[in-house]
């Protein structure tokens, strides 16, 4: 089991960042004030003798992670290509900042290989996690009636079993009735906007990062699953967003959705092909790799390729798909930078 190695010219450093939004409750429905956020940051770095960190180190040190999962992680010896607290590579001509949002209940480093790929190519990549995400989902779910849960399950079943030409029509109503997920996406969009407000603080976490020459008014957003909806919602509301990439996510959030004018990349799985077609901006770029399922856009599919035999992932080669995802996202972001007149010289996109 191992991650794909990044193919850029730079090695990769990481730092962690925690902060609290004192203007909001800890989570939707909480009486406590203070929404705690965690971010992991990848960047071109020069390791000073540090070992590369272990896979999903974020979870290993988190006391909120169930003990059973932490015990399992202790047995996983896989290392990444990231070096904690490595100084910023002064030779790197930095490109842009990318902010990543994960799935419904997940963690910031779920797609480490994408973050490492971008950092090795000259980007600063910031992945965000709301610390109380499980408590928030549980608080919202407790308010659902049995009838509501039954209706939601039936709508999801119909959506998954529908033909492609019917899927996009059904999805419009499905997103509209997904009240809890819409609220979660709206709050995470606010989290993302707060990160954009504080990006200068994030850069100061990087050794040497206060010298970084980056345009903090033109940020690229990427999200997987529900995180794709967060990227879309934030792009529609925030003029600082330079592009949005949706990795097989829906269009939850504001209903009906607000227009998205920035460059937009929609990467569908074959299982969800076309689901957002009635809601995507007309200028959206679409990709649907054949024989893929939703989880093919998560690093776990490449780490555990045997998942394809269980039906959890599609029949596509998982490692090749993750490599294609990484290259495609980077190429799209670079094209968006070029379109807005980036002063940075693009690196050639790795074709391997």
- Selection from 35, 48, 38 nearest residue 15 by Cα: 38
CA 235, CA 226: separation in Å to the nearest integer? 14
pLDDT at 352: 37
Which stretches of the chain score pLDDT less than 50? 342-352
pLDDT at 77: 80
pLDDT at 80: 96
pLDDT at 213: 86
- Selection from 136, 122, 121, 162 nearest residue 37 by Cα: 136
What is the residue-wise DSSP string for 69-106?
HHHHHHH---B-SEEETPPB-TT-----EEEEE--SS-
The three state secondary structure string of 23-63 is: EEECCCCCCCEEEEEEEEEEEEECCCCCCCCECCHHHHCCC
> What's this model's pTM, rounded to 2 decimal places?
0.93
The count of other CB atoms within 10 Å of the CB of residue 121 is 26
pLDDT at 1: 62
| CA-to-CA dists, residue 20 to 27, 36, 38, 129, 209, angstroms | 12, 4, 9, 12, 21
199 in Cβ contact with 219 (< 8 Å): yes
pLDDT at 309: 87
Place of tokens 């010896």: 77
DSSP H helices in the chain: 57-60, 67-75, 112-120, 133-141, 146-161, 164-177, 179-197, 199-205, 226-237, 300-303, 318-339
pLDDT at 160: 87
| Domain 13-339, CATH among 3.40.50.1820, 3.30.360.10, 3.40.190.100, 3.10.20.30 | 3.40.50.1820
40 in Cβ contact with 58 (< 8 Å): yes
DSSP state of 276: T
Residue 300 phi/psi, 5° resolution?
Answer: -55, -30
pLDDT at 349: 43
């Amino acid at each position: 089991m191992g991650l794909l190695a990044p193919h850029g010219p730079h090695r990769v450093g990481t730092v962690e960042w925690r902060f609290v939004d004192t203007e909001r409750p800890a989570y939707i429905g909480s009486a406590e004030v203070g929404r705690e956020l965690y971010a992991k940051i990848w960047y071109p770095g020069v390791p000073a003798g540090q070992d590369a960190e272990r896979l999903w180190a974020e979870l290993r040190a988190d006391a909120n992670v169930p003990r059973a999962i932490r015990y399992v992680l202790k047995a996983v010896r896989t290392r990444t290509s990231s070096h904690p607290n490595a100084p910023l590579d002064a030779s790197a001509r930095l490109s842009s900042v990318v902010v990543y949002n994960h799935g419904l209940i997940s963690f910031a480093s779920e797609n480490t290989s994408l973050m490492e790929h971008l950092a090795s190519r000259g980007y600063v990549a910031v992945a965000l996690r709301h610390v109380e995400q499980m408590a928030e989902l549980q608080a919202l779910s407790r308010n659902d009636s049995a009838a509501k849960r039954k209706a939601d399950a039936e709508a999801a079943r119909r959506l998954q079993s529908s033909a492609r030409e019917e899927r996009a029509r059904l999805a419009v109503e499905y997103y509209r009735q997904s009240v809890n997920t819409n609220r979660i996406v709206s709050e995470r969009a606010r989290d993302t906007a707060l990160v954009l407000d504080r990006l200068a603080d994030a850069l100061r976490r990087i050794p040497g990062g206060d010298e970084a020459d980056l345009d903090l008014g033109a940020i690229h957003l990427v999200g997987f699953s529900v995180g794709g909806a967060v990227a879309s919602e934030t792009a529609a509301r925030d003029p600082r967003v330079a592009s949005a990439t949706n990795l097989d996510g829906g269009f939850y959030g504001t209903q009906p959705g607000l227009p998205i004018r920035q460059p937009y990349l929609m990467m569908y799985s074959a299982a969800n092909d076309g689901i957002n077609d009635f809601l995507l901006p007309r200028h959206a770029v679409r990709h649907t790799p054949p024989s893929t399922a939703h989880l093919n856009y998560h690093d776990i599919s490449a780490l555990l390729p045997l998942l394809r035999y269980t039906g959890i992932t599609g029949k596509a080669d998982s490692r090749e798909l993750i490599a294609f995802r990484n290259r495609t996202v980077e190429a799209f972001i670079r094209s968006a930078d070029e379109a807005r007149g980036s002063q940075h010289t693009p690196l050639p996109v790795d074709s391997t």
